[in-house]
Amino acid sequence: MKTTLFTTISIILLTSSAFVSLQQPKTPWLAPDKFIKTANPLKSDASSLKEGKELWGKHCQSCHGKTGLGDGPKAEQLKTEPGNFTLPATQQQTDGSLFYKISEGRDDMPSFKKKLPEAEDIWNTINYMRTLKK
C-alpha cells in the first residue's frame, strides 16, 4: 500500500513538474546595447551574399535549414527550437544583435568565435540571412 501511494505521488509530481516546465516562457535572448547599435560594416553585395550563402551551408543549414525555417536535419535533436529566420522576429533584429548571438551562442546554439574567427565571415552570413524572408 505504501509503495503504491509513493509511486502514485511520484508520478503526479513528475508529470506536474514536466507540465510546468513546458509552460514557462523562454527567456528572451537580448544582445548588449553595444552590439545592438553596431552596424554591419560590409555592403550586402553579390560577393558578400555568395560568401554568406556558402558559410550558411557549411555552418548553419544543418540546424536552421536551407531556407532558414528551422527545419534542418539536426533540428529535431535540439532541446531548443532553432527558430524561423524568415519571420519578423529575426529579420527585425539589428545586424549587431545577430552578430552577438552568432559569436556568443546560447543553449543549443554554439559560439562561432572559433569556427568563424574572422568577423567578416559572420557579417557575410548576416547579409545572407537577410535574404531569408517570406
Is 58 domain-assigned?
A: yes
Is 134 domain-assigned?
A: no
Is 1 domain-assigned?
A: no
Residues near 2 by beta carbon (within 8 Å), at least 6 away in sequence: none
Q: 123: burial class by Cβ within 10 Å (0-12, 13-18, 19+)? A: buried
pLDDT of residue 8: 52
pLDDT of residue 2: 59
Q: Is the pLDDT of residue 22 over 70?
A: no
pLDDT tens readout for residues 24-64: 457 889 999 999 999 999 999 999 999 999 999 999 999 99
- Residue 107: CATH number of its domain: 1.10.760.10
Is 96 domain-assigned?
A: yes
pLDDT of residue 134: 76
- Mean pLDDT (the chain, rounded): 87
pLDDT of residue 16: 45
Q: Is 102 helix (H, G, I), strand (E, B) or coil?
A: helix
Q: Is the pLDDT of residue 91 over 70?
A: yes
As for how many domains the chain has, the answer is 1
Is 78 domain-assigned?
A: yes
| Single-letter code of the amino acid located at 130 | R
Model confidence at 115, in pLDDT bands (50, 70, 90)?
A: very high
What share of the chain in percent tops pLDDT 70?
A: 81
Could you tell me if 62 and 82 are in contact, meaning their C-beta atoms sit under 8 angstroms apart? no
Find the domain containing 51 and state its range: 27-129
